Structure 1
């Protein structure tokens, strides 16, 4: 018991006397359990850590695959309605919506860092405050970004897209407005719940959302013949089903330790959160916008309709598999944040190695699977033989990209868990925009490779980023990161007795 007492106070020393007084019996028990697990046999440690990883990764994979599946179902429905509308949808979804999603996902990842480290440090009451603060920041941010969707046609024409595709894209952009507002809640709630290992409910809700979306799409598009409008109505309705289910779960009392009701503390000290959110946003936006820039380049190719459609289909297949990688992205983020919050650098390093190994093996499996099916994949999204041939021509590069998906998302998750977003943002800027985009433009326009050349450039940027992140994480001193995590938590800390200033429960 003395060793546990010493261990407890060595960690609390990082957090100040306030946090030391907040350490309860449950936290002490957890510290003892972690201490015993670290000293156990390697096989036992691997088994325990694998359970922790899959406890976060599996629900996240299910939820993200299901949620992104709704995007692909909508694309498939629109693709069988009109080739022009398929290209217009591809522009909006890959450029405008990805642009907005990138900003909101990046801004929301501050919630992932803070909630994960707060949970590890035993500051459960702070998690709801972080969540409510993120809703305020994300809602204001999204409202500022709405002109991107409102003036979609004018923006696409400004970038030189064909008039028919730009007109279709502008029409579809307006339908995306009710859809994108679900991001304010769905992204942040998922990060809030997975930080406390309660994200299985999101997996179930996402599966139900996917089923509802398929049924609504069949009803609106094929039964009622509403075409593109019907597909977009189905997308918006199903996306808000997920949000409402998540809010019912939180408000219904299933998060008693972290949710105490709405509080005016959420409106205080927003500036530090905004600063962290901006650095998080820069990191992920630079990565997500990278693909959007490449789709824009594809739009200037000869026969732009086929080029955009084929590139977008391949990119969406890559993105759908990437949803699996995001499960391990979330697992690495949560595990790193939790262990840094507990003051346990050895557990951080062990978790990074294990989650990287699991993710790489799964990426290799899908690499082989994509090579086997090749051209057949395209017919899920289009009946145009020209587009299917173009997709088949890109299949090898698509497979290699999927293989890389098993590596670099985990590294990005480690960075977010540790709060290294600013450094990674610089890495992304250099690798994607000073290496990937110029290389893609060079190979796409100055060689006969065309769309394949653009994809090769994209892979070059991703490979450079992967190497840079591996080096950065290998060189990281995790003892120093524990100290930085404790300082960060103290900057955002609000005493639990301030929660009595609630607006309503």
Structure 2
């Protein structure tokens, strides 16, 4: 009989061997590979978005600066036109005077002013705007002190020096007149150069462009008044340049007064401006050396061309060549300055990794811009009415075009300057002596003390070597 009280037979155990059998149809490894692919695509998209963001940021800085460069080039072009109307002697004398002025004055002031760029950019990146005003005050005082002896040199000795170098007496005399009246421009530039760096470090590039356009629009009428109506000749062209720079300076000051854009980064001049110039000089002197070496080889060509037969034609031709070089130099130079500002902001915010990634990309873009500049010389070389000058230009322009690619490498020196400024330490801090040695712009260890510089061991020597190496690279 059946035992109805017996328990039912136990159910068979689950087939645990097929517990994870889904991999037979969908292997588990594929899921991991798909996840890895998705992660890779997401990381790549994120990296591309960062690159695009940095490109837009650099473009917002570089495009207005390029427009500003073109506007200021038109000022030089207008000056050359009025010099050309005065005759071959005036054109040669003005070109020679500009070369002498660039060698002895303009390059020095421009290079020293660029020394404050890392300080201002890193202070802005660290959101310590008051330090920008301190750097501005110190740089203005430095440039005024340097401009005074240069002005005396231009007024008293330009012609004598050029004659000692074997220049034509008539050309040297015209150059003396031009340089004497252009000396008034040095005091204006001693304030204008630092002010432009001060604004550019705060991403205020559009006001510089607008004010530059305003000043250049007045440059033609000023030249007409001084050269044609008042018959001042070469002196009128030189004085017009100084007045145009003065108009630009006044326009920028009016912009600051009306807009109030300087309120977050402005303090009045104090006794602190007279102390702690160490950090600024450690950046300004190597930067000025690099800028001077880069400018001088161009300007020395003008001086050397005066030693050739028919110096009036050769000097005038070389002056036109230098103006053409200045035109095509605008684009990679603007890109380099924009990248320099972005690198400074990254370092000041304590993000050295972002600065390292940004620098090589900007260098590549600058080189690409330089390679396109070759084509611009072809059109420039076809301009002009004088047969002798046109023949000289046709021979010079193709050779000059080959230097535009290599010259674009020099435009990334500003980026190198910002990166090398971090050799004081690995962070992006800027400090002032009056705030105490422990209170810095960044939360990290101090990078640069605006009022004082503290270096330790090999890091200090490494920085000095970088400065010398950069100058040697320009040679």
- Report if TM-score (shorter chain) is over 0.5: yes
How far apart in 1 are the matches of 2:43 and 2:324?
39
TM-score w.r.t. length of structure 2: 0.77
Q: Distance in 2 between matches of 1:129 and 1:38?
A: 42
Measure the CA separation in 2 of the matches of 1:493 and 1:89.
47
Q: Does 1:269 align with 2:270?
A: no
Query: Aligned in 2, Cα 1:73/1:254: closer, same or farther, shift over 3 Å?
Result: same
Aligned counterpart, 1:19: none
Q: More helix per residue: 1 or 2?
A: 1
Question: 1:54: Cα distance to partner?
Answer: 1.4
Q: Secondary structure at the match of 1:231?
A: helix
The match for 1:403 among 386, 402, 405 is 405
1:42 aligned partner: 47
TM superposition shift of 1:242 = 0.5
The CA deviation at 1:81 is 0.9
Question: How far 1:160 moved relative to its partner?
Answer: 1.2
| 2:417 alignment counterpart | 416
1:490 to 411, 428, 431: 431
User: For the residues of structure 2 that align with 1:367 and 1:160, how far apart are their CA atoms?
Assistant: 33
Instruction: Give 1:449's aligned residue.
Output: none
Contact 2:328–2:376 under 8 Å retained in 1: no
| 8 Å CA contact retained: 2:99, 2:303 | no
Q: Distance in 1 between matches of 2:354 and 2:87?
A: 53
Residue from 166, 170, 175 that aligns with 1:164: 170
CA contact (8 A) 1:53 1:335 kept: yes
* Residues 181-202 of structure 1: CA deviation (Å, up to 9, x unaligned): 2211111111111111112101
Task: Output the CA distance in 2 between the equivalents of 1:261 and 1:201.
Answer: 22
What is the correspondence of 1:423-434 to structure 2 with a 5 Å cutoff?
Answer: none
- Residues 269, 149 of structure 1: CA spacing in aligned structure 2 closer, same or farther, 3 A cutoff? same
More moved, 108-117 vs 223-232: 223-232
Deviation of 1:42 (Å):
3.1
Aligned residues: 395
Residues 340 and 348, structure 1, Cα contact 8 Å, conserved in 2: yes
Structure 1: distance between partners of 2:397 and 2:140: 40
The answer for the alignment partner of 2:304 in structure 1 is 297
| TM-score normalised over the length of structure 1 | 0.73
Does the alignment pair 1:232 with 2:238? Answer: yes
Residue equivalent to 2:146: 141
Q: Distance in 2 between matches of 1:203 and 1:493?
A: 35
Paired with 1:97 and 1:259, the residues of 2 have a C-alpha distance of 31
Deviation at 1:244, TM superposition (A): 1.0
Q: Given the alignment of the two structures, is residue 311 of structure 1 paired with residue 312 of structure 2, yes or no?
A: no
| Distance change (3 Å), C-alpha of 1:39 and 1:262 | farther
Mapping for residues 84-103 of structure 1, pairs under 5 Å: 84-103=89-108
| Deviation of the 1:270 alpha carbon | 2.5
Q: Which runs of 5+ in 2 are unaligned?
A: 1-41, 440-475
- Distance in 2 (CA, whole Å) between partners of 1:407 and 1:227 is 39
Ranges of 4+ aligned residues in structure 1 off by more than 6 Å:
none
**C-alpha RMSD of matched pairs (Å):** 2.5
Q: Which residue of 2 aligns with 1:452?
A: none
**Equivalent pair of 1:375/1:395 in contact (CA under 8 Å):** yes
1:212 aligns to what?
218
Checking the alignment, whether the CA contact within 8 Å between 1:97 and 1:180 is kept in structure 2 is no
Q: Is the 8 A contact 1:95 1:289 kept in 2?
A: no
Match of 1:190 among 179, 190, 196: 196
The 8 Å contact of residues 125 and 344 in structure 2, kept in 1 or not, is answered as yes
